[in-house]
Amino acid sequence: MTDTHAARGGRPDRVSKAQWLAKALEELEDGGITAVRVERLAKALSVAKSGFYWHFDGLNDLHRHMLECWSREFTGVVTSNPDVLASEPRARLETTMKIVEEDNLARYDLAMRSWAKHDATVRAAVDKVMATRLDFIRRTFAELGFDGDDLDMRARLFACYEMWQAETFSDLSKRRRTRLRKLRLDLLVGA
């Protein structure tokens, strides 16, 4: 039993900020931003809603932290990763593909884009994350010698496929995904 559980009954008595954020992102994915409510989160976490205010000043503060978390944990984890950045360009692309797939880093992208349609602040944050991803990918393809439209096409194809494959091709087995990942990389960078 972790420290977030009471000794009796296994009910949580403390919930970390990370747990609140994870649950908020799940609610966003499942029901959109209107589903992200303090009462609903507290109930899902089996805690009193007063615990929410230990970590956040209110719903707007939670929203800001959700965007920051999404940017850091679902983009920065790759684009700012020293081990990924230190690798050769082809290996960097392959590692990026593996991390995005294995850690399901694109899982909240659709929910974020949907939220962004109704909120200019969120739209700016989503646009910034997408620009960061695309810039990272472009730089990597540029290191491989691509430029101009050839560079842009490869970077955009890579980004689109990695961001939408889990949602679009959910029927693929892990084995098939691995095979297709190698073929896709060969196609984009040259075998």
Whether 174 and 81 map to the same domain: the answer is yes
Q: Is the domain of 93 the same as that of 145?
A: yes
Task: Look up the CATH number of the domain holding residue 30.
Answer: 1.10.10
Per-residue pLDDT reduced to its tens digit, 175-187: 998 999 999 999 9
191, burial (CB in 10 Å: exposed 0-12, middle 13-18, buried 19+): exposed
Q: Are residues 15 and 83 in the same domain?
A: no
- Flag whether pLDDT at 24 surpasses 50: yes
Please state the rounded mean pLDDT for residues 24-47: 96
In contact, 33 and 126? CB cutoff 8 Å: no
**Whether residues 32 and 102 fall in one domain:** no
∠ CA 102-97-157, rounded to 5°: 135
Range of the domain at 35: 1-56
**Residues 114, 64 within the same domain:** yes
pLDDT tens for each residue of 120-162: 999 999 999 999 999 999 999 999 999 999 999 999 999 999 9
Q: Do 149 and 69 belong together in one domain?
A: yes
- CATH code (residue 133): 1.10.357
Q: Do 44 and 89 sit in the same domain of this protein? A: no
Q: What is the DSSP letter of 13?
A: S
For 63-101, what is each residue's pLDDT tens digit? Answer: 999 999 999 999 999 999 999 999 999 999 999 999 999
pLDDT score for 48: 92
- Give the pLDDT confidence score for residue 14 in this predicted structure: 84
Whole-angstrom Cα distance, residue 151 to residue 141?
6
13 pLDDT band, cuts 50/70/90, is low
Residue 169 pLDDT level (bands cut at 50, 70, 90): confident
Q: Which of 56, 71, 94 lies at the terminal end of a domain, its last residue? A: 56
> Is 81 found in the same domain as 43?
no
Predicted confidence at residue 165, as pLDDT, reads 84
Residue 1 shares a structural domain with residue 33: yes
Assess contact for 157 and 126: CB atoms under 8 A: no
* Claim to verify: residue 40 and residue 8 sit in the same structural domain: yes
Domain count for the chain, please give it.
2
